[in-house]
Amino acid sequence: MSSLPHHKIRIPYARPLLLLCAIVFCIGFASPLLAAPPLPVLQKKDAVVSIIVKDRNQHAVKTVSGTVIDRDGLVATTCSAVISWLTETRSSFRVLTAEGNDMPVLDVLGCNRANNTAILRIPAEGLPMAAPAQKSASASSLWLAGRDGSNSRILPLPTKPQKKTKKKTKKQQRDSVQVVTTFPERLTGGAVLNDRGELVGIGTNSSSGAGTVVPWETIREQRDLYKKQARKNRMIDALLQGTPRQEVQMDPAPVIAAQKRADTEPANPAAWIELARACDAAHLPERAIAAWKRAAQLDPGSYEAALGLGIASYHAGRYREAISAYENALRLKPDSLSIQVKIGAAWLIMGEFRQAIEVLKKAVEIDPRSASAHFNLGVAHYLNGDKSSAMIEYLRLSPLDPALAQNLFDLMN
């Protein structure tokens, strides 16, 4: 019996259709990118804001996200957004909340370039905030909640598999967690949440472009540091008041000996300088000032006498006299950095911030690497109401003296 002939049935576009089905099948089962966010994550989308930097023509030059870390107006975002604002002349720095409220940024309370995070303060209270996670970030899937203008966006974050190691130290637990993707720029600064909708950290891109999760513990430490308002008040009060030294009783023997020499050698400036030093050491500012003045009168070209008179007058709270003496010393040594800084500090204490800025700018020109000059100039800008210029001095001060830079940020809090 003869076999029936076999006929091939040809279906148009069969291979492309099969290939498409295979791709859809693989994506549906193998990729997390199509997964829907859990309900607890969706409920926290209002805890993120949009942060927009606009140029002088009100055109947006940078848009990122921000995460509410304190209900009373503290928002975490990227340091790159702050730098973009500082480098744009006459730019605006504003925050758009989930409810559509457009608010200005009042203060930049922190800018950590190492992990690309910053903390901002806006004029708001009672903002929605995600509760901090109680467990490690690796305990569940992670989600990045950001805001692109008025639109909220939530993306799943596939993290790199972690090798099993011994128990981590506290510092290692605060280290950033790297993920396998680069975050869209508009979503950087957004909240990284676990499946329970708890805040795990802040999503940023590193300098190499890698997506990282800065842990909540790190952000919290920065927030708590900048909320220490009492420290700021103490620093400003001490700076502005400049409490004069009080006369105290000490062993007068060195003063008596120096006074005898000045009495026997009244025309010798060295004798009066010796007496002035003895009075300074004994915390007798008024007698020290009188001795320094006599030494300067006898030898108008004495840099030591002019400088000593300035320092003694400053300690006695006689700041205008101190500036006058410092200026005399500056005429003798025009390139003296320390005197420029001292004059600037005296103007600061007197509340003459513009004069302080003018003098301290000259100090920075003399030595661009002077940490004290940058610090005092930053303080002068801040107290003069120019927080942008104060932030620039912070950025310049950071590589020179990180501890002093931190003090400047504490002052600006």
Confidence band, pLDDT 50/70/90 cuts, at residue 55 = confident
In this predicted structure, which of 68-72, 85-89, 152-156 has the lowest mean pLDDT? 85-89
CA proximity to 67, closest of 98, 108, 38: 98
Strand partners, 237: none
**Residue spans in the chain of domains classed CATH 2.40.10.120:** 40-160+173-226
Please indicate whether residue 187 or residue 207 has the higher confidence score (pLDDT): 187
Looking at residue 178, what is its pLDDT? Answer: 63
Rounded mean pLDDT, 364-391: 91
Confidence band, pLDDT 50/70/90 cuts, at residue 330 = very high
Sequence-distant (6+) residues with CB within 8 A of 71 are: 125, 126, 127, 128, 129
Question: Are the beta carbons of 193 and 216 closer than 8 angstroms?
Answer: no
CB neighbours of residue 98 within 10 Å: 17
Does domain 40-160+173-226 fall into CATH 2.60.40.420?
no
Looking at residue 202, what is its pLDDT? Answer: 93
Q: What is the pTM of this model?
A: 0.51
Q: What is Dmax (Cα atoms) for the chain?
A: 147
Token output for 371: 């940490």
Q: Give the percent of the chain with pLDDT over 90.
A: 38
CA proximity to 147, closest of 217, 69, 44: 44
Q: How far is CA 144 from CA 197, 199, 203, 223, 383, in A?
A: 11, 10, 7, 21, 38
Q: In what order do the strands lie in the sheet with 211-215?
A: 151-157, 142-148, 191-194, 199-205, 211-215, 177-178
At residue 225, φ and ψ (nearest 5 deg) are: -65, -45
Count each helix (H run) and each strand (E run) in the chain, helices first. Answer: 16, 13
**What mean pLDDT is reported for the chain?**
80
**Residue spans in the chain of domains classed CATH 1.25.40.10:** 253-412
CA proximity to 199, closest of 27, 48, 63: 48
CB neighbours of residue 117 within 10 Å: 27
**What is the rounded CA–CA span in Å between residue 405 and residue 393?**
9
Confidence band, pLDDT 50/70/90 cuts, at residue 33 = very low
CA proximity to 68, closest of 217, 183, 176, 190: 190
Task: Give the three-class secondary structure for 205.
Answer: strand
Residue count (the chain): 413
Does domain 253-412 fall into CATH 1.10.8.420?
no
